[in-house]
């Protein structure tokens, strides 16, 4: 700017810019032409619809082409097996035919050679077409599904067989328990009958001993009565003044004393036998009662163990104090136990501490 010597000379008047605003030579515009001379639009200009179609075609050309894969018809595994068997047979025929042509290459005419080659090509084309119908991926999926199905059926059959065996074992166990219970009932009935028969036999023996004892006492009393009667008759005879032999009286008294002593010994033996029988009956009764009480106690203990196992598991610890810190499980177990409470019995199991009554 400092080198421009005409800078201020270009500034004219009161203009605030440095542009030259000298009025140009104004030329009026030409009048519009008549309507008849209007130039028509060129015919090659496309319409809006044509333009849209071209745009769509251009977009379609730019889009990536998707390869349309031929969808093979799904065939079963048995059909694939039959087709492969047929193709193997066809392959063997082709190999035999090729070998025959190779062996007769010098003896065959051109027409026969071309005919043989054409037949081979047709068979090859047919085999390729048959192979193209088999989708390997689909076949693999089908085989995988078939294998999974067979494994599932095999597992199901194994589980069904195991369940059947377990059911048979359960039935056998139930049958064994039923037979065992029936045998116990039979043994109890037989034992009861034997006890009744033994008691009846003991009663019969005791009754016989009592009868013998009674007869012995009766005989002793009769001997005493006979001695008294003879003595009374002797006194009567003496009173009448009759002659009474004292020796006969002594002999009679001696015989009576011997008989009395004999019956007294028998009476003692009968009493001893009675005492032994009564002691034996009492002992048998005590043994039977103790056996029954022991059996009842064993049964009660076994039932309590079964209930404890059913309610508290296999733990050998006392359930009312050993709940291993799991209060929720302890309460749930107690609630389950309370479901079996009977109004006629105690609400607490055997061995549990009963709370004291409030004052």
CA-based nearest residue to 274, from 324, 336, 337, 205 = 205
Interatomic CA distance for residues 142 and 295, integer angstroms: 67
223/229 Cα distance (integer angstroms): 10
Query: pLDDT digit string (tens) for 209-239?
Result: 888 888 888 888 888 888 888 888 888 887 8
Please give the structure tokens belonging to residue 18: 């440095």
Residues 6+ apart with CB under 8 A from 138: 72, 74
- 142: nearest Cα among 86, 79, 93: 79
pLDDT at res. 299 = 85
What are the structure tokens assigned to 95, written together? Answer: 């190999």
Question: Per-residue pLDDT for the chain (359 aa), expressed as one digit of tens each?
Answer: 444 444 444 444 444 444 444 444 555 556 655 544 444 555 555 567 777 777 777 777 776 655 544 445 566 778 888 888 888 888 888 888 888 878 877 787 878 888 888 888 888 888 888 777 777 788 788 888 888 999 999 999 999 999 999 999 999 999 998 998 899 899 888 988 888 888 788 788 888 888 888 888 888 888 888 888 888 888 888 788 777 777 887 888 888 888 888 888 888 888 888 888 888 878 877 777 788 788 888 888 888 888 777 766 666 666 666 667 777 877 887 788 777 776 666 666 667 777 777 76
pLDDT digits (tens, 9 = 90+) for 42-76: 555 556 777 777 777 777 777 665 554 444 556 67
């Amino acid at each position: 700017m400092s080198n421009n010597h005409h800078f201020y000379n270009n500034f004219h008047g009161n203009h605030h810019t440095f542009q030259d605003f000298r009025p140009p030579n104004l030329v009026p515009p030409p009048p519009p032409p008549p309507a008849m001379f209007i130039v028509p639009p060129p015919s090659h200009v496309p319409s809006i619809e044509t333009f849209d179609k071209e745009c769509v075609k251009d977009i379609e050309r730019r889009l990536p082409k998707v390869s349309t894969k031929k969808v093979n018809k799904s065939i079963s595994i048995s059909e694939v097996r039959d087709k492969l068997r047929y193709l193997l047979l066809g392959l063997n025929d082709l190999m035999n035919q090729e070998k025959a042509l190779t062996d007769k290459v010098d003896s065959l005419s051109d027409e026969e050679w071309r005919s043989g080659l054409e037949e081979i090509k047709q068979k090859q084309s047919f085999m390729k077409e048959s192979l193209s119908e088999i989708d390997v991926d689909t076949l693999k999926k089908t085989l995988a599904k078939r294998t999974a199905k067979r494994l599932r059926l095999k597992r199901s059959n194994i589980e069904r067989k195991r369940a059947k065996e377990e059911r048979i074992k359960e039935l056998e166990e139930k049958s064994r328990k039923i037979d065992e219970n029936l045998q116990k009932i039979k043994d109890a009935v037989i034992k009861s009958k034997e006890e009744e028969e033994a008691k009846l036999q003991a009663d019969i023996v005791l009754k016989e001993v009592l009868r013998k004892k009674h007869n012995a006492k009766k005989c002793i009393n009769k001997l005493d009565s006979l001695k008294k009667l003879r003595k009374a008759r002797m006194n009567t005879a003496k009173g009448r003044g009759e002659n009474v032999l004292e020796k006969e009286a002594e002999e009679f008294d001696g015989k009576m004393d011997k008989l009395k002593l004999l019956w007294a010994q028998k009476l003692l033996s009968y009493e001893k036998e009675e005492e032994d029988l009564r002691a034996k009956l009492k002992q048998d009764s005590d043994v039977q009662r103790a056996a029954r009480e022991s059996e009842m106690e064993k049964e009660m203990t076994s039932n309590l163990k079964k209930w404890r196992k059913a309610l508290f598991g296999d733990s050998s610890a006392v359930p009312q104090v050993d709940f291993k810190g799991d209060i929720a499980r302890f309460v749930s177990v107690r609630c389950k136990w309370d479901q079996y409470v009977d109004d006629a019995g105690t609400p607490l199991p055997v061995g549990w501490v009963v709370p004291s009554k409030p004052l």
